[in-house]
């Protein structure tokens, strides 16, 4: 199995506090994996460590065959072109229009002329389900859901092999959230993308996720298909999955 991500014995400290105490897991190519856990368990911190924004105190992270924290700056830059990251509120460049935002990775990383980049950026908009006139707007003029889709389009610009999503459905209405989940699943299936989602959203978990990794008290307490994780003995996991009516759970883990 081709492992695109290997996290090995990560320890993270903020001052005297130990956030992660030996986190290890792997993600295979083509999987849609969710990282879940209570608030404050360091999920977003772990995500930032995986993509090279925050250094862990101990441990190793191999992303697409590169050791993230032992790579040279040139190797890290080459690696950055192979994955896409969707930040929690999109993190679009507020002074640029959406179309200009999507064009940024093309302009910075390729030598393509603008007459090829413009239609390509327009296509990325269509790929994530945004209407064509969204390209002319600035991020402040878009709703939350549209901002996340625009940010997704930017993350997909350089045809990444793995996509990282940080709480993609937070702040979205239920219809918008489910639509976003379906979009992610469609892209994963059609493009062979590996997707790594940090999420709180139970509905996301129960609909489009292949495998779930559960963080609690600085350790991984469960790692497997959603149906199996749901049956785990741990009290937090029990409580997390029961925060939903039995009716919804009956369609779970498919």
Give the number of residues written for the chain: 254
Binding site for other proteins (CB under 8 A): 93-95, 110-112, 116, 119-120, 122-123, 126-127, 131-133, 135-136, 138-140, 156, 158-159, 186-187, 189-192
Return the sign of the alpha-carbon dihedral for residues 136, 141, 144, 148.
positive
Taking the complex as a whole, the smallest distance from the CB of residue 120 to other proteins amounts, in Å, to 6
Q: Which is nearer to other proteins, 1 or 247 (CB)?
A: 1
Taking the complex as a whole, the smallest distance from the CB of residue 192 to other proteins amounts, in Å, to 5
Q: Which is nearer to other proteins, 128 or 212 (CB)?
A: 128
User: What's the Cα-to-Cα distance from 16 to each of 21, 57, 220, rounded to whole Å?
Assistant: 13, 12, 21
Q: Which is nearer to other proteins, 50 or 183 (CB)?
A: 183
Alpha helices for the chain (secondary structure H) = 43-50, 73-80, 98-109, 114-127, 144-155, 174-191, 202-208, 226-230, 235-241, 246-249
214 with 220: CB under 8 angstroms? yes
State the Cα–Cα distance between residues 130 and 77, nearest whole angstrom.
29
Taking the complex as a whole, the smallest distance from the CB of residue 53 to other proteins amounts, in Å, to 19
Q: Which is nearer to other proteins, 104 or 249 (CB)?
A: 104
> In the chain, how many H helices and how many E strands?
10, 10
Taking the complex as a whole, the smallest distance from the CB of residue 92 to other proteins amounts, in Å, to 10
Q: Which is nearer to other proteins, 42 or 84 (CB)?
A: 84
Taking the complex as a whole, the smallest distance from the CB of residue 86 to other proteins amounts, in Å, to 17
């Amino acid at each position: 199995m081709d492992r695109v991500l290997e996290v090995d014995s990560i320890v993270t400290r903020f001052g005297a506090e130990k956030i992660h105490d030996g986190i290890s897991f792997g993600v295979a190519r083509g999987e849609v994996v969710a990282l879940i856990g209570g608030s404050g368990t360091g999920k977003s911190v772990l995500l930032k460590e995986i993509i090279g924004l925050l250094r862990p105190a101990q441990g190793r992270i191999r992303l697409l065959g590169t050791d993230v924290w032992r790579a040279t700056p040139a190797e890290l830059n080459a690696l950055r072109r192979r994955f896409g990251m969707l930040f929690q509120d999109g993190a679009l460049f507020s002074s640029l229009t959406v179309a200009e935002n999507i064009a940024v990775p093309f302009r910075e990383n390729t030598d393509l002329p603008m007459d090829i980049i413009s239609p390509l950026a327009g296509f990325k908009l269509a790929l994530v389900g945004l209407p064509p006139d969204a390209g002319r707007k600035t991020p402040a003029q878009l709703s939350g859901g549209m901002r996340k889709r625009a940010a997704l389009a930017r993350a997909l610009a350089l045809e990444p092999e793995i996509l990282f999503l940080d709480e993609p459905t937070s702040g979205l209405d239920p219809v918008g959230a489910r639509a976003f989940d379906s979009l992610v699943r469609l892209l994963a299936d059609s493009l062979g993308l590996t997707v790594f989602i940090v999420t709180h959203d139970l509905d996301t978990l129960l609909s489009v996720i292949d495998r779930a990794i559960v963080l609690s008290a600085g350790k991984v307490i469960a790692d497997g298909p959603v149906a199996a994780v749901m049956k785990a003995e741990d009290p937090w996991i029990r409580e997390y999955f029961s925060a939903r009516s039995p009716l919804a759970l009956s369609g779970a883990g498919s």
